[in-house]
Amino acid sequence: MTIGNAKAVDLFAQKGEKIISIQVKSIFKMKNVGWPLMEDTIKDVDYYIFVNLNGDTMSNPEFFVCTPEETKDKVKQYKTRGIVRLGLLNSPEYKNNWEKLLFS
């Protein structure tokens, strides 16, 4: 597997001929309650990975894996901002669900 970077996408992962694109969003502390993200800026990539770095507790980071459709479903859109709330992703369906990234 190789990993690269591009302007519109944070990461590309490749295995053989199969390539997936990944957007990564991070927050430093849980007090942020979620990731700022406007619904109309969600890119047509293969996956979004939301990272909580747990800077407030200095514990291990948490990772949440979503498809763009799942990401759109989780955005709480306000007039001038949007947010993907940590509480909405804190389930086995998203948390550390690296199997979503498996290449078939």
Mean pLDDT for the stretch of residues 34-57: 89
Task: Encode pLDDT of 21-35 as tens digits.
Answer: 899 999 988 677 789
The confidence score (pLDDT) of residue 93 equals 96
What percent of the chain is modeled with pLDDT above 70? 89
Contact 9, 23 (CB under 8 A): yes
Residue 16 reports pLDDT greater than 50: yes
